[in-house]
Amino acid sequence: MALDCRCPTRRPISLAATGTQKPGCGFPVVKLVACFCLASGALQQWVQGTLKDHDCRLLQKLLGCFKKGDVVLADRGFSSFANLTVLLGRGVDAVLRLHHFRKVDLRTGRRLGRRDRVVRWSKGPWQGQLWTRAQWEELPEHLEVRVAEIQVEVPGFRTQKLVLVTTFLDATRFRAAELGRLYFRRWAIELFFRDIKQTLGMDVLRCQTPKMVAKEIVMHALAYNLIRALMQDIARSQGVPLSGLSFKGTVNALRQWQELFERSGQTPRRVRQMRQKF
């Protein structure tokens, strides 16, 4: 699973005015923290909030969608002691980029390889804005995590190295280079969000009330997942990798065939024949 946060719309969730701005002016923003299936690109779950809501606070509402055995890929904004502890407690492993505020000395800890260590993190002071005191006290005092520095050798990449933190402590089964290649796939979530916002037009929502905005987001998510399901069907029937299919190309083809589908009478047999030709 891949996890990320985006602000997909510039309309209409009501926010309090800031500074000297008059109430009701400006462009309200709704923030989404979403979980995608990395294999299929399907949007599995999301949580929406305001621009002022912290990403990690919204993540707490998403924890129920993770099951034992899942692997979560996420960017550095979710890389914290508390998040890793909660995920690990649910039997969920994680591969994240190390938060830039956390300084790690790769000369300390149990050595697994070059620039690859198992280190011990300690629980810091209570983070009252994100966790209740009861939740914070339930967390263990210490957590062992693996920190590995990955050299980026992909031409054109601005980043030359990545420092990853993961719950995979076995260096024999999970080599650092393989974890690096796995984390590189997290970039696909940026493309998934682009497909929803740009190709499907969810960058600016047009409803005027929060309730209708929520429904508009649901409709975009349904359309996105249906197109992803169609792409999987095409990839399976044609024997081609799913990554080789274009989301925008699939949408354009659907629009070209829309009139023929509508004139088919919607009978299952006729629709099946049309899909085979498609």
| Residue-wise pLDDT tens digits, 85-122 | 999 999 999 999 998 888 888 888 889 988 899 999 99
Q: Where are the domains of the chain?
A: 2-191, 246-278
Distance between CA 156 and CA 170 in Å, rounded? 31
**pLDDT band for position 266 (50/70/90)?**
low
Q: Which residue has the higher pLDDT, 28 or 96?
A: 96
Q: What percent of the chain has pLDDT over 90?
A: 44
Give the HSE-up count for residue 179: Cα atoms under 13 Å, Cβ half-sphere. Answer: 30
Q: What is the pLDDT of residue 11?
A: 39
Q: Which residue has the higher pLDDT, 257 or 242?
A: 242
- E strand residue ranges, the chain: 2-9, 30-36, 43-50, 71-74, 93-97, 110-113, 116-122, 142-151, 161-166
| Residue-wise pLDDT tens digits, 156-210 | 666 678 899 999 999 999 999 999 989 988 989 999 999 999 999 998 888 888 8
| Residue-wise pLDDT tens digits, 41-68 | 999 999 998 888 888 888 888 888 899 9
Q: What is the pLDDT of residue 95?
A: 95
